[in-house]
Every structure is written in C-alpha cells, then in structure tokens.
C-alpha cells in the first residue's frame, strides 16, 4: 500500500456519513469497501417500534397513577426525549384530540398536563427541585431498550362529590408523532391528571445531581 493510499484509508475510517436520516460511523475499510456502525441514539423512536404497557403504581397522599413502560421491539435503537401525550378516555377509545375536553359526557376525554414531577414520581434534582435541569435523553438499544414515564392523578372527590369519572382507556402518543396506541386501563380521575418525562428503566423516576 502506498503512503497516499494509506492516508486516504485513514481519512475514510474517521469520517461519518448520513444514511436515511441516521448518523452512521465508518469504522474501517476492508477489501476496498467500507464497514459502518449505526449510531442508534440519533434515531427518534416511533410508536410502531415500541411495545407500550401500563403498570399500576399504587397511591400516595390522595394521588394514584400508572407507569407507562416502553420497550424497543425493532431492529434499530432510538431515543426518547420529553413527554408523551396521554389521553384518558371515559368510554370508548379516542381516535384524535387536541386539548382538554370536558369529562361530562359519553366519549369525553382529558389530556394529561406535562409536569416534571408529582406526588408519585417523575424527574427531580437531588435537592428535591423540579427545575434547573434539562430533560433526560433516553437511548434505547435495539430489541432490548426500556424507558418509562409516570402518569398520575388525584383520586379523592372534592366538595360534595362522592365519586369521580372513571376512564377505561389511555391513549399514548410520542413527542412529535401522530400515531398512537390505545391501552386498556382503568382509574377514577378527580383532578390533577399529569404525565412526567421519559426516563431510563421501568420505574418512571429519576433523580439528577446537577
């Protein structure tokens, strides 16, 4: 191999290329062709590439909720950042909705507010603060990566009320996505319906130190 060819090979081996919107790192040259390794963390997760399950969280201080557990079931890794859109449906599954709707009648639904933390979990600093830090970037490995998010609400009626509306489905969308999954779930929402950010693992909780 000439010195010129050797220099050229070293340059190729250090460069990056973009393939179908995903960053790929060229890691070597063999027999005149290059080999690449996909940097999965650059691919944004889609709802079709994940399985989504609802896991009950129990109750605390008049609040109860669920954990959304998302597992990568595709051949490609991906990332999640921010919040899911979560809609509680009070009769049959909801096809689309763009904002909070009164829960006074059949087919009604309500959309969870995006909050960093609440009574049951979420993302907080080690000093208990829910501000002053960036939302986690959650990287999921192909076929094995797991992320989660906490959904919670108040379960105690207020005033003269003796009960609250009961939902039968949760509809979940990922950030920036229009596709959704409708999940069987059940709970009575008296107020404070909220969802916290995506985090690694299955707990729906994260404490950051900075």
Given this model, what pLDDT does residue 132 score? 81
> What are the pLDDT digits (tens) for 161-184?
788 888 989 999 999 888 899 999
Given this model, what pLDDT does residue 61 score? 85
> What are the pLDDT digits (tens) for 52-83?
999 999 888 889 999 999 999 999 999 999 99
Cα(167)–Cα(189) distance, integer angstroms? 8
Matching residue, tokens 């039968």:
168
Task: Give ranges for CATH 2.60.40 in the chain.
Answer: 47-208
Joined tokens for residue 38: 């996909």
Is pLDDT above 70 for 99? no
The more confidently predicted of residues 3 and 188 is 188
Given this model, what pLDDT does residue 210 score? 65
Burial of 103 (0-12, 13-18, 19+ CB in 10 A): middle
> What are the pLDDT digits (tens) for 108-131?
788 999 999 999 999 998 887 777
Confidence category of residue 95, pLDDT binned at 50, 70, 90: very low
CATH class (in words) of the domain with range 47-208: mainly beta
Given this model, what pLDDT does residue 63 score? 94
Given this model, what pLDDT does residue 29 score? 36
Given this model, what pLDDT does residue 125 score? 87
How many residues are listed for the chain in this entry? 210
């Amino acid at each position: 191999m000439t010195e010129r060819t050797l220099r050229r090979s070293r340059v190729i081996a250090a460069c990056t290329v973009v393939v179908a919107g995903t960053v790929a790192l060229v890691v070597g040259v063999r027999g005149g062709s290059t080999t690449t390794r996909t940097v999965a963390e650059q691919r944004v997760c889609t709802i079709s590439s994940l399985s989504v399950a609802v896991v009950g969280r129990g109750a605390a201080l008049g609040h109860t909720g669920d954990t959304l557990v998302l597992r990568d079931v595709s051949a490609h890794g991906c990332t999640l950042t921010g919040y899911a859109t979560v809609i509680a449906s009070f009769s049959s599954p909801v096809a689309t909705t763009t904002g909070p709707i009164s829960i006074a009648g059949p087919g009604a639904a309500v959309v969870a507010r995006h909050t960093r933390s609440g009574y049951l979990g979420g993302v907080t600093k080690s000093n208990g603060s829910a501000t002053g830090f960036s939302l986690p970037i959650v990287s999921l490995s192909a076929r094995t990566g797991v992320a989660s998010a906490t959904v919670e609400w108040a379960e105690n009626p207020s005033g003269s009320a003796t009960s609250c509306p009961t939902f039968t489905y949760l509809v979940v969308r990922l950030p920036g996505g229009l596709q959704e999954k409708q999940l069987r779930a059940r709970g009575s929402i008296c107020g404070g319906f909220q969802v916290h950010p995506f985090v690694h693992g299955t707990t729906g909780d994260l404490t950051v130190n900075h």
